[in-house]
A and B are shown apart, each in its own frame.
Chain A
Amino acid sequence: MPSNPSMSAAIVGAAESNKIGFIEEGTTATRLHLEAINNVCKQTGIKPSEIDGVFSAGFSPQLGEHLGIHPKYLDTTAVGGASFVLHVHHALAAINAGIIDVALISHGEAGFSARKNRGNGTNRAGADDKWSVGNQFEVPYGIAGQPSNYAHAMTRHMHQFGSRKEDFAQIAVTTRDWATLNPRAVMHSKETHPFGGPITVQDVMDSRLIAWPLSLLDCCLVTDHGGAVLIASAEKARSLRTAPVWIAGAGESMSHWSMLEMEDFTATSARASSNTAYKMAGMGPGEMEMAMIYDSFTVTAGITAEMLGLTPRGEGPSLWADGKAGPGGSGIPVNTNGGGLSFSHSGMYGMMLLVEVYRQLSGTAEDGINGLPGKQVEAKTAVVNGTGGALSTTGTLVLVADD
């Protein structure tokens, strides 16, 4: 049983932005956040670098980036005015669990200035804020959607490690092989999609360029999708008729939000989040018998394989080489549903990772979903990694089948 969180954490400081109220000269939500953070850090003597959990109503990766910190707990719960009370609750749980030591809960909202600023900004974070970092320094250069961003990482990987476009293309080919075994996959066959069914490295190379070096078949689908999972306490889990899949380890991190702040274009925070997860699990990458790796693009999966310790540095695509991560391959099975590349990807693919890994580790894949049977791998352990933003935020799970 986990310990009772009561008394396990306390509020240790509180501050406001330098100015509050009707700020006639104008301000932005970002400035209000950062001034308050600066002030509470000075008040408490806690350095921003000591903050390892960031909680805000929808603004946490931007705050982490602005501070130049890489927290291991991110919460952007945005449920209206009560959000910050909920954040206290979440932070208490995270601290009690021993995941973090210092939680920052931050608020900044330029309600008065937003009107004054002709609606430009900034009362909120995000792409619809005309004064966001993206709208100031990325959009003017034709950056539109993630392919235009992620391509820069692939170019840098090819430059730094001598990897080739063909090496990444193999990831799409092997992932498609899994999709041909999954009747629910969009690219399962010619019956499910005109361009479905098996593909070759040459097919990927010949598909039209989206953002060189990324071609169409290096890029994920854009679909409609829904999914859900249930998580229960150990006691409850043992009382149910479904097979439990145990959460042995979990970790999260971020390196940046905007690609402008991606220091190393060939590395992501999956290194940090998987280190946390492996450590919690007391297991290492060599003990992982399957992997579910976010494949918004071939380069996402390739780089992440390195970060998860499944291949040496610079050799991520080798996990898929010669189809060894595919059906009947000599390596560990990877993205057994057909991935975001060939199964389904609605924009936020993380849920699909969870549903598939549950099906495989619980042994229920053959039972099928919606009347359509899947396939089965023999894995008893799995590493699952999700990537968000522009190779920005990551979460890693180490999962173990019930014995």
Chain B
Amino acid sequence: MAYTKPIPDPEEYLNKPFWDGCKEGRLMLPRCEDCNRVHFYPRVLCPYCHSDRIDWIEASGEGYIHTYAVQHRAFGGYADETPFVTAFIDLKEGDRMLTVLRGVDPLKPEDIKIGAKVRVEFEAASDEVSIPFWRVVE
């Protein structure tokens, strides 16, 4: 079945290792070689110490729900999927990502637990691009 929702056009410089990793089913995150902190989204300069020495690590793919919302109005391909849950994920390695949260009931928002453990999975949106999504695992 064709993927109808927005497919990012991978940025070829700063974000390339991230999108390459997604395609291989690996969550790659930028880490500063000077202060060792992980950040997301990828930067030219580390947002914590402003070093320009940024390396990439393969992350555990584990995280926790920081906050969430239930989208009842959306556009494009997402319009057909309402309601759906979006969430900001605290990555185990540090910093955050946004996701459409899987494994939850959008009609019972009160049952979703902030702090619940989530795991990353990848969906091939096209031959070129795989998109990471997070699923509640507890």
Contact = CB atoms under 8 A, between A and B. Distances in A.
B83 A209 contact: yes
Query: Is the contact region of chain B dominated by helix, strand, or loop, or is it mixed?
Result: loop
Nearest to A263: B96
Given A48-B50, A142-B86, A211-B70, A137 B98 contact: yes
Interface in A102-137: 117, 120-121, 130-131, 133, 135-137
Query: Is the contact region of chain A dominated by helix, strand, or loop, or is it mixed?
Result: helix
B75 A212 contact: no
A159 B73 CA distance: 23
A101 interface: no
B84 interface: yes
A55 B6 CA distance: 33
A28 B96 CA distance: 24
Nearest to B106: A212
A31 B14 contact: yes
Interface residues of A, number: 53
B41 A147 contact: no
Nearest to B81: A142
B123 to A, nearest CB: 10
B7 to A, nearest CB: 7
B9 A209 contact: no
Interface stretch (A34-42, A320-328, A333-341): A34-42
A66 B43 contact: yes
Contact of B70 (A120, A137, A156, A212): A212
A38 B109 contact: no
B56 interface: no
A144 interface: yes
A148 interface: yes
Contact of B5 (A137, A140, A210, A214): A140
A152 B114 contact: no
B73 A147 contact: yes
Report the contact-size class of chain B (Cβ under 8 Å from the partner): 35 or more
Contacts of A151: 69-71
A400 interface: no
A153 interface: yes
A133 B44 CA distance: 13
A67 interface: yes
A13 to B, nearest CB: 15
A143 B98 contact: yes
Contacts of A148: 69, 71, 73-74, 86
B12 A26 contact: yes
Contacts of A265: 66-67, 88
A67 B69 contact: no
A387 B37 CA distance: 30
Contact of A135 (B8, B69, B97, B98): B8
Among A41, A135, A152, A210, the most chain B Cβ lie within 10 Å of the Cβ of A152
Contacts of B71: 142, 144, 148, 151, 211
Contact of A35 (B6, B40, B44, B131): B44
Nearest to B100: A141
A117 B14 CA distance: 14
Interface of B: 5-15, 40-41, 43-45, 47-48, 50, 52, 66-76, 78, 81, 83-84, 86-88, 96-100, 109, 114, 125, 131
8 contacts: A27-B13, A31-B13, A68-B47, A142-B5, A142-B78, A155-B109, A214-B69, A265-B67
Closest 6 CB pairs of A and B: A68-B47, A151-B69, A34-B44, A212-B70, A142-B78, A156-B67
